[in-house]
Structure 1
Amino acid sequence: MGNRFPTETKRVTIADVAALAGVSKGTVSKFLGDGDYYIAEATRGRIAAAIAELDFQPNALARGLVRRRSQTVGVVVASVLNPLYPEMITGIDEVLGERGYTLIFGSTEGSSVKEADVIRSMQQRQVDGIVMASVTLQDAEVSQLVDAGLDVVLASRHMRRSDLVDAVIVDNEDGARQAVEHLIAHGHKRIGHLAGPQNVYPFEIRREVFERVMRQAGLPVNGLISVAESTRQESGAPAMAELLGADEPPTAVFVANDSLAIGAIEACAARGVRIPDDVAIVGFDNIWVAHLHGVQLTTVDSRAREIGRNAAHRLLDRIEARWNDGGHPHPVELRMLPTRLVRRGTCGCTPEPPDPLTGSSN
């Protein structure tokens, strides 16, 4: 796979230039910046000679780092249409505002090409770091961004490799286990799984847990899994139709996320399949739509706003460590928040009472 993002070809730093020129890093930063700073002509000559000798060629991102902190952070999500992301962005923006930063937003619409363009544009705008909540980026590409000197924190997703960048997630494994065991506790023997795209690690985990819990309970799995083409609501209906069209359709379905679950509910309505009488449904995310009176979706709470707040704090801590006199960055951390199953009507439970603060049962 070729590079999708600009990377440094030579790891020469401002400190290297400063040492060779016999000046401070701050003086080199002023020389490289576009501010109206006074630097003696002799000093300018030494810096220019050092830059030429070391072949120091900062890219757009590096130029932003040496000039000054932009006090801006990029936030990249997979789709602005996914109701999960506004809640997460709210959490991120709360923290950025508290700590004096502003937000630049980009949506990739599930396209790896657009994702690369969005990130490149943010680099050119010299953001101090990026919170990535998009889903197409792969391990090698994240490594490219880190090598280019960009601080990155993943939100609500993580990589197979845990040593690349910080990530803040919910416990996907325990959340999926709760969902499947809850349906088993309702007495269901044929439980299906409407899976998300399997190139997305959290969806892969949720499918693996589904299969494991089902087998541990002595229940069948073959023919009871349908993989959606995307994470969007419109992909839920055809995947659910595939499960309903089986010779022995499931009496319950664990759906990989709530957007797909809403599509699954639409597919049931189109076929006159009653929920939960004919088929029970449990989702994952607890988006705001889930608690509406006409939906009442049982789901796993993915704590989107808390993930956003945690990811923003982690990113800003990392950015500020970088700026503390060449401070050493924090070790990479995977922060995992616990999950909770929110019982509502689509599984056959009596909905939980609403939260007195939010008005929703979450």
Structure 2
Amino acid sequence: MRNRFPATQKVTIADVAARAGVSKGTVSKVLGGGEYYVADETRERISAAVAELDFRPNAIARGLKRRRSQTIGVIVASIANPLYAELISGVEEALAGSEYTLIFGSSEGSAQKEMAVVRSMQQRQVDGIVMASVTLDDGEVEKQIEAGLNVVLASRNLARVVADAVVSDNHAGATAAVEHLAEHGHKRIGHISGPQDVVPFAQRRAAYDETLSRLSLETSDELCVIATATSLEAGADAAIRLLDSHNPPTAVFVGSDGLALGVLDACAKSGVRVPEDLAIVGFDNIWVGRMPGIGLSTVETDARRIGRRAAERLIERIDETFREGAWLHEPEVEVLPATLVARRTCGCPGD
């Protein structure tokens, strides 16, 4: 009888290597069918381990047969969002001087469209994809990776760590934003968040809640509004809902600069003075918020650096996959610092 792992536990190359008493690299070479010298006795041990564990290496074999295209795909949520323009610039920096070319697509917040973009890129035989938009559920992303697709997430991560990712420190950045508003003397601080099925927004919301509790500041359901999207229009709609509440806040932490620009627009149209009537801190530090006359206080996430690091990690993954037949490392989430940038909208001196 085969000594199988439990049905809920995925068998990996590492499991086969441990059972056969060899390295993961040796297993991938044997399963890949390349022209590598491996002793017959070692091959037999690996074959026995594969049979005992019921390991299915088909995805690896398929990956080895593909030709390298020297093309990388990037998927963003919206090309209209300045955040993604900076992230793509970072990817291009990482590819400068290399033989890689770049193609990109936009999901527009639709899981169906994102899947169509992924499939289109696969048809073009991209060597890997930087995904800055993840509307697909964790299981679908994991399925793509198991099928041999090289993926690194950028400015996004999943509830379960099934893919390499490069993100900003959402918790620290949101905490700094709320603490700063409290230092200005605000006791009733609101929050406008993006969709909670997007992990970074959920992390920023959690940090907001924790900080209010730690500082013994007022909390209530009416202080937090969840935007239906991440656009300027969605931010404006959320701001109107917040400002029309029975007891509106005197300050608001907004989960992204795109939403925060919508809040500024709603305030201007409603006659709400910023920061006198409502202090605002966003998140991302996009270039529009830095413009004179706007002076949006925000959290710097350095989207360009995120894009650059994500591309660098993807290239490392691609190189090892083509060299060894598989990516031999456990997925990791690289967290980059997020720092507060205080400007006019929170009441600090500046533009």
TM range, smaller chain = 0.7 to 0.9
Determine whether 1:187 maps to 2:189.
no
In 2, Cα distance between equivalents of 1:214 and 1:268: 24
In 1, Cα distance between equivalents of 2:273 and 2:196: 29
In 2, Cα distance between equivalents of 1:67 and 1:145: 16
Determine whether 1:259 maps to 2:297.
no
In 2, Cα distance between equivalents of 1:158 and 1:328: 19
Gaps of 5+ in 2: 1-27, 37-55
Q: Which residue does the alignment assign to 1:148?
A: 147
Q: Which deviates more from structure 2 when the two are superposed, residues 134-143 or residues 62-71?
A: 62-71
Q: Which residue does the alignment assign to 2:208?
A: 210
Contact 1:170-1:336 within 8 A present in 2 as well? yes
Determine whether 1:166 maps to 2:181.
no
Output the amino acid matched with 2:338.
T
**Percentage identity across aligned positions?**
53
The alignment's TM-score, normalised by the length of structure 2, stands at: 0.82
Contact 1:64-1:127 within 8 A present in 2 as well? no
- The 1:338–1:219 alpha-carbon spacing in structure 2 relative to 1, beyond 3 Å, is same
Output the amino acid matched with 2:202.
E
- The 1:187–1:270 alpha-carbon spacing in structure 2 relative to 1, beyond 3 Å, is same
Q: CA deviation at 1:135?
A: 3.1
Gaps of 5+ in 1: 1-12, 26-55, 353-362
Q: Which residue does the alignment assign to 2:43?
A: none
Q: Which residue does the alignment assign to 1:178?
A: 176
Contact 1:65-1:126 within 8 A present in 2 as well? no
In 1, Cα distance between equivalents of 2:134 and 2:325: 32
- SS of residue matched to 1:310: helix
Deviations 1:129-148 (A, max 9, x none): 11000031221111101110
Contact 2:31-2:61 within 8 A present in 1 as well? no
Q: CA RMSD in A?
A: 2.3
Output the amino acid matched with 1:165.
A
In 1, Cα distance between equivalents of 2:57 and 2:296: 54
- SS of residue matched to 2:96: helix
Q: CA deviation at 1:63?
A: 6.2
- SS of residue matched to 2:283: strand
Q: CA deviation at 1:233?
A: 1.1
Please list, as runs of the form range in 1=range in 2, the aligned pairs for 1:1-362 lying within 5 A after superposition. Answer: 16=31, 18=33, 24=35, 65-162=64-161, 164-222=162-220, 223-326=222-325, 328-351=327-350
Contact 2:63-2:148 within 8 A present in 1 as well? no
Deviations 1:270-320 (A, max 9, x none): 110000000000000000001111210000001100000100000000100
Deviations 1:184-232 (A, max 9, x none): 0000011100111111011011111111111111112211011100011
Output the amino acid matched with 1:70.
S
- SS of residue matched to 1:320: helix
Structure number with higher relative contact order (C-alpha < 8 Å, ≥ 6 residues apart) = 2
In 2, Cα distance between equivalents of 1:17 and 1:183: 57
In 1, Cα distance between equivalents of 2:229 and 2:115: 18
In 2, Cα distance between equivalents of 1:64 and 1:126: 11
Q: CA deviation at 1:259?
A: 0.4
Q: CA deviation at 1:104?
A: 1.1
